[in-house]
Structure formats: structure tokens, C-alpha cells
Amino acid sequence: MGKVIVITSGKGGVGKTTTTANLGHGLAALGRKVCLVDADIGLRNLDVVLGLENRIVYHLLDVVEGNCTVSKALIRDKQHGENLVLLAAAQTREKDAVNPDQMRDLMKVLRKEYDYVLVDCPAGIEQGFRNAVAGADQAILVTTPEVSAVRDADRIVGLLEATELHDPQVIINRIRPDMVRRGDMLDISDVDDFLRIPILGIVPDDESIIVSTNRGEPVVNDQRSRSGQAYRNICRRLEGQEVSFMDLQGENFMQRLLRRIRVGAANR
């Protein structure tokens, strides 16, 4: 029996979809069978981030409404094939076209086949959120070190308490060590002091994320990227391994410069 994990945040634009795509690729690379579900009906983009947009024939609603079988609707990844599949969201419908019971039934089917089912939750706390958390065993919150994102994450933790989903974990995304050092950005302990839930990972802000997102190739596959490293670490933690957090502060000027040069060379 696999685990159903919902990836949620409350606030939009903090990196839920990017996180879902990267964890999916990372877990598949560790040899797991992974199914990604885009629950953002009407505003789908997990398919784009994975570079699978042009392969969508059937979507989540087709499955829920019985227009096709589950296996027919699952899109195989370019790189991982059978081990990483996507159930795309419908783009032409709205969030209320599905209800939590239908999602729960769908998760029951998917978790039999896959080790991990990762659900990409839409922003907000309305119907789309309620659908996405239905049938999940575990929740991962994504937040950025901004006051508004952390507030929304706090609201989500409160809402999750009211469901069967207890003990969510948080990923702090897009942290900029230089800004933290200058005192211009919330640091890890600020976020931790506020939310008081376990931290699953810390992902540094990284321009290569934007490049990879636009290309449809998750950064987790890029061995040189620091954010890719952060995602690989998160995947290993999900697998139950003890992985210490990356030292974001320790990087000095020379190391930064060297990295820039290396990244620059790789992009050429």
C-alpha cells in the first residue's frame, strides 16, 4: 500500500507545483513507483513543469466520471516511464466538478499501484483544497520565508487539524542565505518559531529552477544544482533516511563565484 501525500500551501506561487514535480522525479530516481496527481482543476500546470503537456488525452475528471479507466488516463514520464506517471487536471472545468468522496475513491485505487501518490493542491482554502486533501495520509506544506506565505501556511495547519491529516511537515522554499545574513529575510528559526511543525527541507532560491521549469525538466535531475540537491535530500528523508540539512550559510564568496562559473559553463 502506497502513501498519499498532498502538497499544499494556502498562498499561491510559493512553489507547490515545482515541489511536486521535483519530489516525483526524485523519488522515481530512488527506484520508487510514483503517481503525480494535479488537483488544480481549471488552472493545471504540473503537466507543463514535467514537460508532458502535449501527451494529455484523458484527465482526472474523465476518470472520476467514468469516461475512461484509471490506467488509461495516466501519462508516463519521458525519463522514468512506468515508474513516474501523471494524472492531469482538466483545464476546461472548475474545481467543484469533483467532490472529496470521489477523490478519496480515486486515491484508494492509485495507492494500490504506487509507492507514492503526490497530490498537487491548488492555492486557496476552498473546494479545490478540500478535494486535494481528501484521501491523503500526509501533508507537506510549502512556504517561502515571507510573512504572508507563513501566515497562510499557519492557516492551513489549522484547517488540516480539523481533517484526519495531523502532523504536517513543511518545506521552506526559496531561501536566500545572503538576504537572511543581512537580516532582510525571515530565517529558518523565525519560520520554525511560528509554525512549530517539523521541517522536511530547505530549498535555496535558485535561478536554475526557472530555467528548468520552463524547459519541463525538473531541477532535481541536475546534479550540480543546489536546489536540486535540496530536493534529493527531501526525497531521501521521505524514504526514512537521516539526511542533515545543507549548510546554506557556509558558502563564502569564492565558493559562490566558483559555483556561478560552473553553472555558467554548464549552461553554455
Partner 1 sequence: MNKDVCRIKGSRRGLVITISAGADFAEVLRQLQEKLSAAEGFFAGAEVKLAFEDGQFSKEQVDALAELISAFGMSLDRAQPVTRYSPAPSVGEAYKEAEPAAGEETLLVRRTLRSGQKIHYDGNIVVMGDVNPGAEVACTGDIVVLGSLRGVAHAGIADRVDAMVFAFRLEPTQLRIAHYISRSPDEKQPQPLGPEVARVVDNMIQISPYTHWGS
Binding site for partner 1 (CB under 8 A): 151-152, 154-155, 157-159, 161-162, 194, 196
> Cα 135–216–221 angle (5° rounding)?
85
Name the strand (E) or helix (H) holding 248: none
Which residue shows C-alpha cell 501518490?
117
Closest approach, Cβ 151 to partner 1, in A, equals 6
Closest approach, Cβ 123 to partner 1, in A, equals 15
Indicate left, alpha or beta for 52 from its phi (over 0: left) and psi (-120 to 50: alpha).
Answer: alpha
**Direct distance between the N- and C-terminal alpha carbons of the chain, in angstroms, rounded to an integer:** 44
Closest approach, Cβ 20 to partner 1, in A, equals 24
Closest approach, Cβ 138 to partner 1, in A, equals 19
Closest approach, Cβ 159 to partner 1, in A, equals 7
Look up residue 51 and give its DSSP letter.
T
Q: Measured between alpha carbons, how far is 268 from 264 in angstroms, rounded to an integer?
A: 6
Q: Of the two residues 155 and 260, which places its CB atom closer to partner 1 in the complex?
A: 155
CB 117 within 8 A of CB 107: yes
Indicate left, alpha or beta for 51 from its phi (over 0: left) and psi (-120 to 50: alpha).
Answer: left
Q: Of the two residues 183 and 250, which places its CB atom closer to partner 1 in the complex?
A: 183
Q: Of the two residues 143 and 225, which places its CB atom closer to partner 1 in the complex?
A: 143
CB 17 within 8 A of CB 45: yes
84 forms beta bridges with 34
Q: Of the two residues 82 and 101, which places its CB atom closer to partner 1 in the complex?
A: 101
Closest approach, Cβ 156 to partner 1, in A, equals 9
Report the DSSP pairing between strands 116-120 and 34-38.
Answer: parallel
Q: Of the two residues 162 and 265, which places its CB atom closer to partner 1 in the complex?
A: 162
Q: Of the two residues 186 and 248, which places its CB atom closer to partner 1 in the complex?
A: 186
